[in-house]
Amino acid sequence: MIQRPATLLTPPILALTLFLLTGCGAGTDLAQRPPPGYVGDVAARVSAVDWAQARPVTVQLDEFRFQPDRLAFERGTPYRLTLENRGTVAHTFTSEGFFKAIAVRRVTTAQGAVETPALVNLEIPAGQADVVEFVPVEAGTYDLACHEPLHSSFGMTGTITVR
């Protein structure tokens, strides 16, 4: 009887591992109408601020981290958040509590711009950047994670604070 040496990654396990590490294409999910629990008067809030004064903030996403992984915003202040995926696979920027606590003016992706959406999930493909223009409404501390399979387990998490 011939015995083969045991290997850690047999072809089926290797294929599954690669699938999990590269993600399964959760996609960007934007709602045109705010779901329950979201800021309801978005149009009024985004029209009440001077967007020429929007503060720029950039977050870099790569394998497997957000940089910075701690973000802080002030209520009532407009922001232009650029999410740059410098990694080799898609990553998400997902924070249900934070998304419910902001009024979004616009999300701009490689596919174009969407006005006043409610954010559910933002997926940024490798090598691309999305821009989110928003005004924080509700104070709080919110969890941030990448929802691609296993990415948060590998440390792709963070915290967002609105004061």
Q: According to the model, what pLDDT value does residue 31 have?
A: 67
The domain of 91 spans: 26-162
The domain that holds 130 is classified in CATH as 2.60.40.420
Report how far apart, in Å, the C-alpha atoms of 132 and of each of 21, 22, 29, 87, 163 are: 26, 24, 13, 19, 19
pLDDT digits (tens, 9 = 90+) for 98-114: 999 999 999 999 999 99
The average confidence (pLDDT) of the chain is: 85
Residue 87, both tokens: 């990694």
15 assigned to some structural domain? no
Band (pLDDT 50/70/90 cuts) for residue 6 is very low
Q: Alpha helices of the chain — where are they, by DSSP H? A: 11-22, 42-47, 96-100
- Asked if residue 16 is part of any domain, the answer here is no
Decide if 74 contacts 139 (C-beta within 8 A). no
* Residue 82: C-alpha distances to residues 11, 56, 78, 133 (Å): 38, 8, 13, 9
* 75 located within any domain: yes
Which pTM was predicted?
0.81
Block residue for tokens 């003016």: 105
pLDDT at 97 over 80: yes
Classify residue 12: in a domain, yes or no.
Answer: no
Domain count, the chain: 1
